[in-house]
């Protein structure tokens, strides 16, 4: 932290005096600069709105102690104008962070190609599985995963990215030196050690509060090109992040869940909104939405059944077979409503394809399940030729 500029020192001080997302203070700093605003607070300027509130913490503010805490986690304080500052945060306008405390890799580079994955802390097994799989697949494609470091979907997203050797960013509602929640302490350390980033607007030693969690969500939404909500109840904090993403004009995506699950009710509401979130089910569809032009998700793979390869006449004759017994060609012709002349040739081809079998009495019987088997594993013969009725 040596060589701090006056503006950097001023902004560092202001992060100790004000809560994150203070738009009035943010506008003042944008207009006058951090140094001038700190001076007005120090002088108890009566024209400064809420000056008493800022001054309440003035006695505890100090850059040297913060520097010591940051050094302990190999951290740094980044402000607008620094090469590491992610310029996409400026979309927040007056709510742009005054500065960010960062530990780990270069924040700007990590966030250049990133998506946010958010959801419920009380996630179901389904939600954890989906979040982890999506994050892992995105990491395989060199996308950075941004989340909040919390239990549930956040942790699953971070772990999924790490499992594929990907880079992940945890945006915290506390100091970067504070392992919160405690149960994720090892995960947060692993993120930093594996080339990821821990980031917070709050100074070291700051504890989380509910308002800080909600304000933190705007940074998650602003850092990423898109926000994906994997699992969220009607009152989930993830919907707050979704709201920020929508207000910033960023892509909002949602993963559907079981219609009987209250934990997916928020996702379903986002999909049905007047300004609906885009429904996605995997990494390919996400990249189609936020990746470069031409990055299209592959069409769903649907295994072709053997009967799908039949021409209409062969399918009609196959459907005319009785279940569980053999039938003579004339019976099959009557059931299909066809003249007997066209039936024997088609029956022979169906038998050659393994769909029916000929019996000793000259009749034919269905081979159970053969028509519904997939062509890949069951039928390796040439498709049945189209029969023309003259």
The whole-number pLDDT of residue 365 equals 92
Residues belonging to the chain? 390
In Å, how far from its chain's centre is CA 251?
11
The CATH number given to 306-378 is 1.10.10.10
Where does the chain show beta strands of DSSP type E? 75-78, 100-104, 114-119, 144-147, 168-171, 197-200, 226-231, 251-254, 278-279, 356-358, 364-366
Per-residue pLDDT of the chain (390 residues; tens, 9 = 90+): 444 588 998 999 999 999 999 999 999 999 999 999 999 999 999 999 989 999 988 877 666 777 777 888 889 999 999 999 999 999 999 999 999 999 999 999 999 999 999 999 999 999 999 999 999 999 999 999 999 999 999 999 999 999 999 999 999 999 999 989 999 999 999 999 999 999 999 999 999 999 999 999 999 999 999 999 999 998 889 999 999 999 999 999 999 999 999 999 999 999 999 889 999 999 999 999 997 645 555 555 555 677 778 888 998 999 999 988 899 999 999 999 999 998 998 998 898 888 999 888 889 999 877 666 554 433 333 344 433 333
The whole-number pLDDT of residue 360 equals 85
Q: Which two tokens stand for residue 313?
A: 């006449």
**Domain residue ranges of the chain, discontinuous segments joined by +:** 62-290, 306-378
Please name which of 380, 340, 331 lies closest in space to residue 359, comparing C-alpha atoms. 331
pLDDT in tens, 349-389: 898 888 999 888 889 999 877 666 554 433 333 344 433 33
Give me the percent of the chain exceeding a pLDDT of 70: 89
Contact 318, 371 (CB under 8 A): yes
The whole-number pLDDT of residue 303 equals 57
pTM value? 0.79
Domain 62-290 belongs to what topology? Rossmann fold (3.40.50)
Give, in order, the Cα–Cα distances in Å from 165 to each of 114, 137, 173, 196, 297.
15, 11, 25, 10, 23
The whole-number pLDDT of residue 222 equals 98
Dist. CA 176–CA 160, nearest whole Å: 21
Dist. CA 15–CA 29, nearest whole Å: 12
């Amino acid at each position: 932290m040596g060589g701090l500029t006056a503006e950097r020192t001023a902004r560092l001080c202001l992060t100790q005096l004000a809560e994150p997302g203070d738009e009035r203070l943010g506008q003042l700093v944008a207009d006058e600069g951090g140094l001038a605003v700190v001076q007005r607070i120090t002088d108890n300027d009566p024209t400064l709105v809420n000056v008493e509130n800022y001054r309440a913490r003035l006695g505890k503010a100090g850059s040297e102690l913060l520097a010591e805490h940051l050094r302990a986690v190999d951290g740094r304080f980044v402000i607008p104008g620094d090469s590491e500052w992610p310029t996409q945060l400026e979309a927040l306008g007056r709510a742009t962070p005054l500065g960010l405390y960062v530990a780990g890799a270069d924040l700007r580079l990590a966030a250049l190609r990133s998506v946010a994955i958010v959801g419920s802390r009380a996630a179901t097994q389904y939600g954890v599985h989906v979040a982890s799989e999506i994050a892992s697949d995105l990491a395989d494609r060199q996308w950075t995963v941004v989340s909040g470091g919390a239990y549930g979907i956040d942790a699953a997203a971070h772990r999924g990215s790490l499992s594929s050797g990907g880079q992940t960013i945890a945006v915290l509602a506390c100091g970067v030196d504070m392992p919160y929640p405690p149960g994720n302490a090892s995960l947060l350390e692993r993120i930093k050690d594996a080339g990821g980033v821990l980031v917070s607007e709050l100074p070291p030693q700051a504890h989380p509060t509910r308002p800080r969690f909600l304000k933190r969500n705007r940074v998650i939404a602003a850092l990423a090109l898109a926000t994906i909500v994997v699992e969220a109840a009607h009152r989930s904090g993830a919907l707050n992040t979704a709201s920020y993403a929508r207000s910033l004009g960023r892509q909002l995506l949602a993963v559907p869940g079981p219609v009987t699950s209250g934990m997916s009710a928020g996702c379903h509401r986002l999909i049905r909104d007047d300004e609906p979130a885009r429904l996605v089910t995997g990494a390919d569809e996400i990249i189609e939405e936020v990746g470069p032009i031409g990055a299209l998700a592959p069409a769903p793979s649907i295994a072709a059944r053997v009967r799908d390869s039949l021409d209409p006449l062969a399918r009609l004759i196959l459907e005319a077979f009785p279940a569980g017994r053999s039938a003579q060609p004339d019976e099959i012709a009557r059931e299909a409503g066809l003249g007997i002349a066209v039936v024997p040739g088609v029956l022979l081809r169906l038998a050659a394809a393994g769909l029916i079998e000929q019996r000793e009495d000259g009749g034919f019987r269905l081979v159970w399940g053969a028509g519904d088997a997939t062509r890949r594993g069951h039928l390796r013969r040439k498709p049945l030729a189209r029969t023309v009725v003259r």
